Amino acid sequence: MQVQWDWLWLGVLLVGSVTAEIHDEEIQDADVEVEDFDKNSQETDIDKGSSSLEVIYKTPEPTGEVYFTETFDDGVLTGWLLSKTQKEDTDENISKYDGRWEVEALKENTVPGDRGLVLKSIARHHAISAMLTRPFIFDSKPLIVQYEVNFQDGIDCGGAYVKLLSGSDDLDLEHFFDKTPYTIMFGPDKCGEDYKLHFIFRHKNPKTGVYEEKHAKRPDVDLKKFYSDKKTHLYTLVLKPDDTFELLIDQSIVGKGNLLEDMVPPVNPPKEIDDPSDKKPDDWDERPKIPDPNAVKPDDWDEDEPSKIEDPDAVKPEGWLDDELQYIPDPNAEKPEDWDEEMDGEWETPQIPNPKCETAPGCGEWVRPMMTNPNYKGKWKPPMIDNPNYQGIWSPQKIPNPDYFEDLHPFEMTAVSAIGLELWSMTPDIYFDNFIICSEMEVADRWAADGWGLKKLVASANEPGMLSQLVTAAEDRPWLWIIYILTLALPVGLGVLFCWPSKKIEEDINYKKTDVSKPVTKGELEQAREEIDDEAELEEEKENEDIAIEERRPIEEKKKETVKEKKKKGRKESPSGEGEGEDKNDDEEENEAAEGSQEEGDKSNKSGSEDEMKEADESTGSGDGPMKSVRKRRVRKD
């Protein structure tokens, strides 16, 4: 019963581990629950009896103050401008921003009436931008940038990030290119196996006026699934006036930090820097260990000994073909008809393996195999000792940083007046949709619910069944097959374990410790044998005495009768005096007969006792294992 409970607990643990694995994957896929859709902002008609989800799409509308929105549902690029310039420092053939853009619906999980901006070309530079409804000024309100991306064909190498272009009087969107000043760059990027989620802002040095890019630290999240599952994902940047930021994917935080502490390089430079004029002295010794100057090479150290030598014990295998070549010219090869010796050189017959060497141990000249030289020591080097003159690793002196400054509020960046996509990609059909720039998280969440939330519902309704999902998960994680097999086999095993009739053996229940057989030594065996022999001998002597007495009785009675008969006859034939003498003789004969019978009984007892003792010795001495009981035999003599 204890074993059955152990199996039951094992089954519960296995089922729990599988449930936890599935639960974790669901959390990673969903990340957080999306807020309930506002019934006033969308209308859905779900047919519970069918396998697909039928929806009526309504273009999202902002519910609060916004700086920019775009849904592309009207099918035209209203307000968007294509760049007409060229990329600098690039080959002229690919320097033009001639990548093609289209407004179209998703390839899969299409929502009727919903459209997006799609990057169509591969190995081309793409650039498109639009002005904000009004500039965003970094003062007391947060900045929220949010949009959707779907890598419909996966992604090999390319980006899907946006740039918030810095406001200036000379900003020309038709000349938007990679060096156009921007304030923030945010979004996914991937090349090779490097998956990134960029958050970069350009910070102005208040002393020099030079802008420097500050990169947020990489999120501690596996981003691969967002780039490879061909689903629409929501990317959100939240930048707050307290100099903190959050990076979200599908409304789940994947990275956060502080502009003063979590950017590379840091916003504020160090107060001290290395003195550029300071140089290391010539006699500065940085060696912690040096060769021992007092060490001497041993006299028996031979540096000329090779590391490998021929094996002197090796013997040439029997059947070695010394006179045969390992490769021979192909007898079936023929010179090509179009072979031109002036152009191609002299034609040589191609070589093939010698067929005679296939069955032999080897062909050609036999050479002894090489072995490690036991006398090899290599080049002698003196042992290392601590350097008495060691001064440590030299470093230049510190001096005050002449360019030092302290910006306590890096949130106060250059104002933003436009949004743009400047991308290079080796994968086509990258889908963008539902851009919004605002300052209130509630507005961004409502916007996401009306757009991305509806796409998520449709994608979930069109997902394959549970079995297909399990197979797909096992393709990425082969070890899941073991859990699947154990999960299926466990109920069967538990059913057999609990339902199969079990047999209880009384000997197992009433098992006693004294039933255990103990090993018997030779001395104990001989002692026990002697005790049994003594007991058997005593019993046999007693039995033989009883038998002898029983056998003597009829003889004595018969003799007595014979004596009586003789007395009667003597009385009749002889006088009285002779009769008295004969009576005495008769008494003497009876005593002699009794003594004779007694002697015969003793002899029979002795013979029977010797035979029985011999049989007892043979039976007890015939086995080498544990002591066996001796069977007593009763010897009777007729």
Burial class of residue 432 in the structure, from the number of CB atoms within 10 Å of its CB (0-12 exposed, 13-18 middle, 19+ buried): buried
**DSSP labels, 439-488:** S-HHHHHHHHHHTHHHHHHHHHHTS--HHHHHHHHHHH-TTHHHHHHHHH
Q: Which tokens in the block code for residue 85? A: 């310039």
In a domain, 129, yes or no: yes
- Peptide linkage before 112 cis (omega within 30 of 0): no
Of 152, 52, 186, nearest in space to 458 by CA: 52
Query: Using the 8-state DSSP alphabet, how is residue 215 labeled?
Result: E
- Peptide linkage before 369 cis (omega within 30 of 0): no
Other C-beta atoms closer than 10 Å to the C-beta of 288 total 11
Q: How far apart are CA 620 and CA 631, in angstroms?
A: 10
509-548: pLDDT as tens digits: 454 444 445 555 656 666 767 777 777 777 777 777 777 6
Return the SS3 of 614: helix
Q: Which tokens in the block code for residue 373? A: 């030289």
* pLDDT at position 54: 67
Of 555, 553, 529, nearest in space to 617 by CA: 529
Of 285, 274, 280, 277, nearest in space to 397 by CA: 274
Name all contacts of 169-174 with Cβ < 8 Å and 24+ positions apart: 171/417, 171/418, 173/81, 173/83, 173/129, 173/130, 173/131, 173/418, 173/420, 174/81, 174/82, 174/83, 174/84, 174/85
In a domain, 251, yes or no: yes
In a domain, 536, yes or no: no
The parent domain of residue 182 ranges over: 66-271+408-462
Q: CB-based contacts of 443: which residues, under 8 Å, 6+ apart? A: 62, 63, 64, 65, 66, 144, 436
Q: How far apart are CA 273 and CA 525, in angstroms?
A: 95
Output 590 or 233, whichever has higher pLDDT: 233
Q: How far apart are CA 144 and CA 502, in angstroms?
A: 69
135-159: pLDDT as tens digits: 999 999 999 999 999 999 888 888 9
Residue 318 scores a pLDDT above 50? yes
Q: How far apart are CA 167 and CA 163, in angstroms?
A: 12
Q: What is the torsional sign of CA 411, 414, 419, 425?
A: negative
- Mean pLDDT, residues 236-245: 96
Q: Which tokens in the block code for residue 360? A: 């032999």
Inter-residue contact 409 to 108 (CB < 8 Å): no
Q: How far apart are CA 383 and CA 381, in angstroms?
A: 6
Inter-residue contact 480 to 473 (CB < 8 Å): yes
Burial class of residue 605 in the structure, from the number of CB atoms within 10 Å of its CB (0-12 exposed, 13-18 middle, 19+ buried): buried
CATH number at residue 415: 2.60.120.200
In a domain, 89, yes or no: yes
Look up tokens 């890019």; give the residue. 213
In a domain, 158, yes or no: yes
Residue 51 scores a pLDDT above 70? no
* pLDDT at position 590: 46
Q: CB-based contacts of 436: which residues, under 8 Å, 6+ apart? A: 62, 66, 68, 69, 70, 144, 145, 146, 147, 443, 444, 447
Q: How far apart are CA 17 and CA 19, in angstroms?
A: 5
Confidence of residue 494 (pLDDT cuts 50, 70, 90): confident
In a domain, 591, yes or no: no
In a domain, 85, yes or no: yes
The region of weakest confidence among 169-173, 293-297, 413-417, 488-492 is: 488-492
Average confidence score pLDDT of the chain: 79
Look up tokens 């639960």; give the residue. 23
Look up tokens 């743009």; give the residue. 420
State which of 37-51, 89-103, 275-289, 477-491 shows the largest mean pLDDT: 275-289
- How many domains does the structure of the chain reveal? 1
Q: Which tokens in the block code for residue 200? A: 């970069």
In a domain, 420, yes or no: yes
Of 127, 63, 197, nearest in space to 422 by CA: 127
Other C-beta atoms closer than 10 Å to the C-beta of 564 total 11
Residue 46 scores a pLDDT above 50? no
Q: At what angle do helices 522-573 and 576-621 cross, to 10 degrees?
A: 160
Q: How far apart are CA 555 and CA 600, in angstroms?
A: 12
Q: What one-letter code names the amino acid at 218? A: R
Q: How far apart are CA 158 and CA 190, in angstroms?
A: 6
Distances (CA, A) of 556 to 560, 592, 602: 6, 11, 16
